[in-house]
Amino acid sequence: MSFATLGLSAPLLRAVDEQGYDTPTPVQIKAIPAILAGRDVMAAAQTGTGKTAGFTLPLLDRLMKGSSAQPNQARVLILAPTRELAIQVCDSVISYGRHLPLRAVVVYGGVKINPQMMKMRKGVDVLVATPGRLLDLYQQNAIRFKQLEMLVLDEADRMLDLGFLPDIRKILALLPGKRQNLMFSATFSDEIRDLARGLLNNPVEISTSPRNTTAKTVRQWICPVDKKQKPALLLELLRVQRWGQVLVFTKTREGANKLTQFLTAEGVRATAIHGDKSQVARSKALADFRNGVVQILVATDVAARGLDIEQLPQVVNFDLPKVAEDYIHRIGRTGRAGASGEAVSLVSADEFPFLCSVEQLIGQVLPRKLIDGFEPVHDVPQSRTSQRPLKPKKPKKPKQGNSNVQTVARQRGNEGKRLQKTAAMKKTGAGKPGHNQPAKQENDQRERSAVSADGNQSPRRPAPPFGRTPGR
Ligand code: AMP
């Protein structure tokens, strides 16, 4: 199967060729013809499947046919949950559209709004936006949707996790009724399906990997260890396994900072990326990691979501994620587009409920490996997966308090309901309204707070010849 058979126009095929893509990925094979035919699409696709090109190439193709955007109008709106993802998607739009006379702009919170308002004046063919900033721009009369032809919701599950549903509903109410809608999500919870029902019109459903499964190309294993030993174990693994570049996930921003300081003190080149960092600092951290200036990028889930770091062989879960589905997103950073990768989770006894949730979600028990000198005093019990709900045992004598357990309530779907019933949940009262505030706060902060620096420059690709407005 070649791209030429999918019905794309010559300028797009040329751009694809210049990217070095020989064969379309499964999601591209299904999505591109459907979108070219004007159909609504609902696709279950993780990052790493080539989904961005899957929707960008055909939407650019369709844009070639219409009339250009009038002042303050957008013809395509792509909504993304985080500014990093928004920047990446816009970079892809610009890259794939380099031979087309189209204009793409990205807008997101955390930077001054005025330059973004100026960019909207000429009108844009493709507007990539985070929801909060888009609404701000609308309130300032900087953007109108009279000419809107197409809406894309990228990483819809993440948008809901971040509490964007009210913003999305507000945005939908502003759009013309006659438009093409595309929705991409790594997972399809009932909540996402509800949203899809109200949004999509007789959609083509695309599922390229079974629901909630992890990339087959990723070798996954866990390393049981006592909590306090985790930093030293990470160092040991870096040494013994001779890892090159590693993306390390921590549960909290404080944890990310502490681990980065520890690694740096041990002579390892490391940097952190999370919601407390300014846009400039985040872009620099990402650029330094991409360019190999640092070996280790320590990230929180929100900051790392959707980051496209090519050919990343190694992901480490320093902490297991609070939300089991984040495990899938995290390890989606490796083993991309057919490349092989490895994902290692350092699991302490108090994280056993999270381990159960992850194993239940991915439908497999993760292999374990004990590292000499790091055998845990506090055992991580063996879990099992089955179709029946798991009853996680309480961890044996966890050293630390059970503060981690509070966050279990953020588990979604059946898994979340099941875990909410556990004794641990009762104890903490998690699962009550507002339990997902931390994620929302991190996002709100990114979306609303102004930082003095512009920070608009994407670190990744050199400025392409078309479309990108100065300072983007
Ligand atoms: P995405 O799933 O959109 O985040 O894309 C993941 C990675 O796959 C990106 O680095 C793309 O450049 C790359 N990619 C997309 N389509 C293809 C393709 N057909 N062949 C090889 N790599 C691709």
CA torsion sign for 248, 253, 255, 257 is positive
pLDDT number for residue 418? 35
Least trusted range by pLDDT, from 255-264, 358-367, 408-417:
408-417
Tokens of 57: 């190439």
pLDDT band (50, 70, 90) for residue 246 = very high
Output the residue whose Cα is nearest ligand 1's atom 11. Answer: 50
pLDDT number for residue 57? 97
Instruction: Report which of residues 318 and 187 the model is more confident about.
Output: 318
Least trusted range by pLDDT, from 31-45, 339-353, 365-379, 453-467:
453-467
Cβ atoms of 466 and 97 closer than 8 Å: yes
DSSP string of 125-151, one letter each residue: EEEEE-HHHHHHHHHTT--B-TT--EE
pLDDT number for residue 279? 72
Q: How far is the CA of 464 from the centre of ligand 1 (A)?
A: 18
Q: How far is the CA of 392 from the centre of ligand 1 (A)?
A: 38
Distances in Å between the Cα of 400 and the Cα atoms of 226, 229, 231, 244, 395 are 10, 13, 16, 32, 11
Q: How far is the CA of 48 from the centre of ligand 1 (A)?
A: 6
CA torsion sign for 354, 356, 357, 359 is positive
Number of residues written out for the chain: 472
pLDDT band (50, 70, 90) for residue 48 = confident
49 touches ligand 1 (CB under 6 Å): yes
* Residue 346 pLDDT greater than 80, yes or no: yes
* Residue 215 pLDDT greater than 70, yes or no: no
* Residue 401 pLDDT greater than 50, yes or no: no
Cβ atoms of 356 and 383 closer than 8 Å: yes
Q: Which residues contact 430 (CB under 8 A, 6 or more apart)?
A: 405, 406, 407, 408, 409, 410, 420
Q: How far is the CA of 336 from the centre of ligand 1 (A)?
A: 8
Give me the residues paired with residue 355 across strands. none
336 touches ligand 1 (CB under 6 Å): yes
Reading across the β-sheet that carries 296-299, which strands appear in turn?
218-224, 341-347, 314-317, 246-249, 296-299, 270-273
Mean local confidence (pLDDT), 167-180: 95
Instruction: Report which of residues 214 and 166 the model is more confident about.
Output: 166
Q: How far is the CA of 21 from the centre of ligand 1 (A)?
A: 8
pLDDT number for residue 469? 33
Instruction: Report which of residues 412 and 96 the model is more confident about.
Output: 96
State how far the Cα of 455 lies from the Cα of 405, in Å rounded to an integer: 36
52 touches ligand 1 (CB under 6 Å): yes
Mean local confidence (pLDDT), 193-206: 90
pLDDT band (50, 70, 90) for residue 43 = very high
Strands 180-185 and 41-44: parallel
pTM: 0.58
Q: Which tens digit of pLDDT belongs to each residue from 24-39?
A: 988 999 999 999 999 9
Averaged confidence pLDDT in the chain: 79
For residues 144, 145, 146, 151, the Cα torsion angle rounded to the nearest 10 degrees is 170
State how far the Cα of 87 lies from the Cα of 427, in Å rounded to an integer: 41
Q: Which tens digit of pLDDT belongs to each residue from 296-321?
A: 999 988 666 656 566 577 899 999 99
Q: How far is the CA of 53 from the centre of ligand 1 (A)?
A: 7
Output the residue whose Cα is nearest ligand 1's atom 19. Answer: 24
Name the nearest CA neighbour of 111 among 252, 254, 281, 307: 281
State how far the Cα of 242 lies from the Cα of 314, in Å rounded to an integer: 11
* Residue 419 pLDDT greater than 70, yes or no: no
Give the helix/strand (H/E) hosting 425: helix 423-428
* Residue 330 pLDDT greater than 50, yes or no: yes
Instruction: Report which of residues 128 and 450 the model is more confident about.
Output: 128
* Residue 11 pLDDT greater than 60, yes or no: yes
25 touches ligand 1 (CB under 6 Å): yes
334 touches ligand 1 (CB under 6 Å): no
Tokens of 268: 């390892």
* Residue 392 pLDDT greater than 80, yes or no: no
For residues 306, 308, 313, 318, the Cα torsion angle rounded to the nearest 10 degrees is -40
pLDDT number for residue 188? 78
Q: What atom in ligand 1 is closest to the CA of residue 19? A: 12
Cβ atoms of 79 and 420 closer than 8 Å: no
Tokens of 51: 């989904």
From the number of C-beta atoms within 10 Å of its C-beta (0-12, 13-18, 19+), residue 156 rates as buried
State how far the Cα of 297 lies from the Cα of 304, in Å rounded to an integer: 10
pLDDT band (50, 70, 90) for residue 466 = very low
Name the nearest CA neighbour of 92 among 22, 36, 16: 16
Output the residue whose Cα is nearest ligand 1's atom 1. Answer: 50
Q: What letter does residue 102 receive in the DSSP assignment?
A: -
Name the nearest CA neighbour of 381 among 420, 410, 354: 354
